[in-house]
Amino acid sequence: MYFTPVCTTEMIAFTRAHTYFKELNTQLLGLSIDSNSSHLAWMYDIYCKTGIKISFPIIADRNGQIARKYGMIANDISSTETVRNVFIIDDKGVVRTILIYPMNIGRFIPEIIRIVQALQMADCSNGSTAANWMPNQPIIISPPKTFATLQERNKEIEKNENGISWYLSFQNPSPKCIKETKKEK
């Protein structure tokens, strides 16, 4: 819904962060069940009041077909109002993350950026990221698949103090992965 306070703050925040998303090879895309005319009037109002030009496309999904396919309409609340969703979809078209916010809570852009960074790092390094992981922090090494490698892992942990057990150990991300997650296409 346009001309609403929370949506307006989100559009401004996403526009301000658009450069960060571009640096992560990520394209922002808005989706609304409102008409294109409503989008234009709302974007123009934001521009007139703030000087900010919304920097990414917004799709008019008038019949809600896309919103329904992605489960964005909460039928127990309304048959037409969407909930605040964020979908992080990779370059192969796979939905990797779905965040759902209540209508009265705005999205937290730094966390969305961090999730994109974590997905890219995990993919590049074939590892995982820990709770509260931030860029340039160690990644979790995949657990060993054999007893022999389990024993080797335990020796490595003892020597390097880089984990708590064979199933949870860490390594610094490779420079290649750090560079990959920052590269512009």
- Please indicate, yes or no, whether residues 29 and 59 belong to a single structural domain of this protein: yes
- Please indicate, yes or no, whether residues 131 and 97 belong to a single structural domain of this protein: no
What does the pLDDT look like over 68-82, one tens digit per residue? 888 887 665 555 555
**Distance between the two ends of the chain, CA-based, in angstroms?**
33
What does the pLDDT look like over 77-116, one tens digit per residue? 555 555 689 999 999 999 999 999 888 899 999 999 999 9
CATH code, 130? 3.30.1020.10
For residue 109, give every residue at least 6 positions away whose Cβ sits within 8 Å of its Cβ, in sequence order, or none.
13, 14, 17
Amino acid of residue 107 = R
For residue 13, give every residue at least 6 positions away whose Cβ sits within 8 Å of its Cβ, in sequence order, or none.
106, 107, 109
pTM of the model as a whole: 0.88
- Please indicate, yes or no, whether residues 47 and 91 belong to a single structural domain of this protein: yes
> Which pLDDT score is estimated for 102?
86
Amino acid of residue 142 = S
Q: Which residue has the higher pLDDT, 74 or 133?
A: 133
Tell me the pLDDT band of 185, cut-offs 50, 70 and 90. very low
**Is residue 177 annotated as part of the catalytic site, yes or no?**
no
- Identify the bridge partners of residue 98 per DSSP, sorted by sequence position: 87
Q: Which residue has the higher pLDDT, 1 or 40?
A: 40
- Please indicate, yes or no, whether residues 10 and 87 belong to a single structural domain of this protein: yes
How many domains would you assign to the chain? Answer: 2
Q: 181 pLDDT exceeds 80? A: no
What does the pLDDT look like over 19-71, one tens digit per residue? 999 999 999 999 988 889 999 999 999 999 999 999 999 999 888 888 888 88
User: Could you tell me which of 28, 7, 31 has the C-alpha nearest to residue 105?
Assistant: 7
Tell me the pLDDT band of 184, cut-offs 50, 70 and 90. very low
Helix (H, G, I), strand (E, B) or coil at 56: coil
> Which pLDDT score is estimated for 67?
84
- Please indicate, yes or no, whether residues 95 and 13 belong to a single structural domain of this protein: yes
Q: How far is CA 97 from the centre of its chain?
A: 7
| Candidates 7, 48, 124, 177; catalytic one | 7
> Where in the sequence is the domain holding 144, given as residue range(s)?
116-180
- Please indicate, yes or no, whether residues 50 and 24 belong to a single structural domain of this protein: yes
Q: 14 pLDDT exceeds 70? A: yes
